[in-house]
Amino acid sequence: MLRIIDARTGEPAPAAPARRAPTRVEAHVRGRDAGALRVLLVADLLMRALELDGTPAWAVLTGTEPDRLRKDAAALGIRPFEDGATTGHGPGTGQGVRVVAEATAAGAAEPVAEGEDEGGAEGGAEGGDEDAHDATTVAVAPVRPAALDLDSDLADPDAVRLALLERHHHARVELDAAVLDEARNTLARLRRAVADWARHPSHPVPGEVRDRLRAAWEEDLDAPGVLRLLRRVETDPDLADGARFEICAYADRFLGLHLTRDVGSPP
């Protein structure tokens, strides 16, 4: 069962209801920076994990500057979120999970955007949504520097996504040039390997590996744990190359790194 650490209690909590009713995932952000993008990325991971578990999920976005942030999120491979200020809770929603910045979860005062009143009129759900206090809350640690050069850094969005995934969402991320270069090199290596493995006869994902992958992302969305497992898969002498390909393709349903992008390209 998918469990996440509830920032309100510090304890694990189920992210899906006992019955198969949809889970409402609300990503709440203020402004448009690297921290806001990371909140959306964690919400995207949660949606992917719920879908892999067979749980219907419904994603909404609340906060400020949602239209501009949606464009940045799309570049990062984050799937679209509905406007939470206008869609309400949706029919038959069984559980709510709220993904917010660490400072928001801790109750720190947030800056008020220009043109927004203290009640968060532009943001919709902030302050006025009583159910936000009852929803399981995922706290996302900040990114340094908070200001991304959206023209240059998001020119290679998969590298930014990988750099953010390398650290658990409870840990701060230093997103500097060296980190992004390392992420680019890692992606290039993995994609070359996956493209090569795809040329070999296919083999199913071994049950033990599938269980370990699921255990990682179902335990508080442990993306770094999934990435560590993929690194072991690269060098495990007991795995057939066709199985390595299937493992990476399966894991990428959670990671969203387009690991199979170069399949079919010239070696």
Q: How far apart are the first and last CA of the chain?
A: 40
- Smallest CA-to-CA distance from 120 within 154, 84, 81, 90 is with 84
CB 172 within 8 Å of CB 141: yes
Angle between helices 34-52 and 207-218 (to 10 degrees): 130
β-strands 143-144, 82-83 pairing:
unpaired
CB 253 within 8 Å of CB 48: yes
Give the model's pLDDT for residue 15. Answer: 87
Q: Average of pLDDT values for 1-27?
A: 87
Give the model's pLDDT for residue 83. Answer: 86
Residue 25 pLDDT greater than 80, yes or no: yes
Give the model's pLDDT for residue 169. Answer: 98
Residue 124 pLDDT greater than 80, yes or no: no
Give the model's pLDDT for residue 115. Answer: 36
The residue that leads in pLDDT, 151 or 192, is 192
User: What is the spatial distance between Cα 92 and Cα 107, in angstroms, rounded to a whole number?
Assistant: 30
Residue 235: count of CB within 10 angstroms of its CB: 8
Give the model's pLDDT for residue 19. Answer: 67
**What is the pTM (predicted TM-score) of this model?**
0.88
DSSP assignment, residue 65?
Answer: S
DSSP assignment, residue 60?
Answer: E
Please tell me whether residue 248 adopts helix, strand or coil conformation.
Answer: helix
User: What is the spatial distance between Cα 56 and Cα 20, in angstroms, rounded to a whole number?
Assistant: 7
Q: What is the pLDDT of residues 186-245, one digit of tens each?
A: 999 999 999 999 999 999 999 999 999 999 999 999 999 999 999 999 999 999 999 999
Longest dimension (CA), the chain: 60
Give the model's pLDDT for residue 225. Answer: 98
Reported as a pLDDT band with limits 50, 70 and 90, residue 120 is very low
Mean pLDDT of the chain: 85
User: What is the spatial distance between Cα 1 and Cα 17, in angstroms, rounded to a whole number?
Assistant: 10
Residue 112 pLDDT greater than 50, yes or no: no
- Phi (first) and psi of residue 158, to 5 degrees: -65, -35
Q: Which residues pair with 82 in a beta bridge?
A: 60
- Smallest CA-to-CA distance from 20 within 94, 79, 114 is with 94
User: What is the spatial distance between Cα 212 and Cα 84, in angstroms, rounded to a whole number?
Assistant: 34
- 58-72, 108-122, 160-174, 180-194: which has the minimum mean pLDDT? 108-122
User: What is the spatial distance between Cα 133 and Cα 135, in angstroms, rounded to a whole number?
Assistant: 6
Helices (H), 23-156: 34-52, 66-75, 84-87, 102-105
Reported as a pLDDT band with limits 50, 70 and 90, residue 22 is confident
Give the model's pLDDT for residue 216. Answer: 97
Residue 122 pLDDT greater than 60, yes or no: no
Give the model's pLDDT for residue 119. Answer: 37
Tokens of 153: 């850094």
